[in-house]
């Protein structure tokens, strides 16, 4: 290794968002495409390792077991030839393959819906959906935790990310409305309703649900005094936030 190297920095970086990218010591690597690239991606996304028999079945489902294993050995030879640091990173046994955990290797995996968008494989599409579901769950948790501690800026940011993923989820629009309102921004809450109205009409040709419309009516009926109280900059809504949240809870349980 070169003198003066920063041992805390990865030398090999693989990016999987959109198109495949690889760099070694800040120099782009022209890594082969086809199955050898997908084999590397599969190993990157399964850090605990994969049975050789499973890999053979995934990549050559229509071949005999012997032929599939032969194909796997061929692709593995190509992988060793073209992967920088293969001798340190690739752990191979008679029954399994994996990439060693190492500070030398970094994986850039951000944006499940864009995971290798130019590649087409059944397992890859299934993985995209799995990663997408994990991201949704993570963002929903962030919203709930941020709202609970009164960090409305973080909650709104995570909600916006969720809406970008699925703008037709009406309950997210309702959350956006009520969190904006709890944050003291009645105008933004009303705009959130208009956004919901527009996307539902344009994409589905339908109007918001009675529940969403009821929440909108509640926003419209807020008195100026109540609105002013909510909109005091930098202050929590002591004495009023619980009342507003109670109204929202009633709406969402159908009691109003």
pLDDT, tens digit, for every residue of 88-107? 999 999 999 999 999 999 98
Residue 27, C-beta contacts closer than 8 angstroms, at least 6 positions apart: none
Asked whether residue 143 is domain-assigned, the answer is no
**Top-confidence residue, 20 or 79:** 79
Q: For the packed helices 34-44 and 65-82, what is the interaxial angle rounded to 10 degrees?
A: 80
Residue at 177 is within a domain: yes
Domain boundary among 99, 120, 141: 120
The pLDDT value given to residue 124: 74
Residue 230: Cβ within 10 Å count: 20
Tell me if the pTM is above 0.75.
Answer: no
Domain coverage including residue 71: 12-120
In-domain check, residue 132? no
Are 165 and 80 within one domain? no
Question: Please, are residues 44 and 31 in contact by the beta-carbon 8 Å criterion?
Answer: no
Residue 193 sits in the same domain as residue 108: no
d(CA 23, CA 142): 32
Instruction: Look at the chain and report how many structural domains it folds into.
Output: 2
Same domain, 109 and 203: no
**What's the whole-number average pLDDT of the chain?**
82
Q: Is residue 113 part of a domain?
A: yes
Whether residue 16 sits in one domain with residue 112: yes
pLDDT band at residue 120 using 50, 70 and 90 as cut-offs: low
Residue 55 in contact with residue 42, Cβ under 8 Å? yes
* 181-229 residue pLDDT tens: 999 999 999 999 999 999 999 999 999 999 999 999 999 887 544 433 4
- Structure-model confidence comparison of residues 1 and 240, the more confident one: 240
Q: Are residues 77 and 174 in the same domain?
A: no
The whole-number pLDDT of residue 62 equals: 87
Residues 99 and 174 in one domain: no
CATH, residue 88: 1.10.10.10
48 and 94 belong to one structural domain: yes
Separation of alpha carbons 91 and 156, rounded Å: 43
Cα separation, 134 vs 110, whole angstroms: 12
């Amino acid at each position: 290794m070169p003198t003066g190297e920063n041992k805390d920095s990865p030398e090999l970086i693989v990016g999987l968002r959109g198109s495949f990218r690889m760099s070694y010591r800040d120099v782009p690597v022209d890594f082969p495409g086809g199955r050898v690239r997908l084999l590397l991606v599969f190993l990157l996304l399964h850090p605990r390792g994969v049975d050789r028999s499973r890999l053979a079945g995934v990549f050559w489902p229509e071949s005999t077991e012997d032929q599939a294993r032969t194909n796997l050995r061929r692709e593995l030879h190509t992988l060793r030839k073209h992967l920088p640091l293969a001798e340190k990173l690739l752990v191979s046994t008679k029954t399994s393959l994996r990439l060693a955990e190492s500070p030398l290797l970094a994986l850039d995996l951000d944006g499940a819906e864009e995971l290798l968008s130019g590649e087409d494989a059944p397992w890859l599409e299934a993985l995209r959906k799995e990663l997408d579901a994990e991201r949704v769950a993570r963002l929903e948790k962030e919203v709930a935790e941020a709202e609970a501690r009164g960090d409305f800026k973080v909650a709104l940011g995570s909600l916006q990310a969720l809406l970008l993923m699925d703008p037709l989820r009406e309950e997210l629009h309702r959350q956006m409305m009520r969190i904006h309102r709890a944050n003291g921004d009645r105008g933004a809450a009303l705009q959130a309703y208009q956004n919901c109205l527009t996307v539902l009409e344009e994409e589905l040709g339908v109007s918001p649900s009675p529940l969403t419309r009821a929440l909108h009516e509640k926003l419209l009926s807020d008195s100026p005094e109540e609105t002013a109280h909510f909109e005091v900059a930098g202050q929590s809504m002591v004495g009023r936030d619980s009342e507003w949240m109670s109204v929202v809870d009633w709406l969402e349980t159908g009691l109003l």
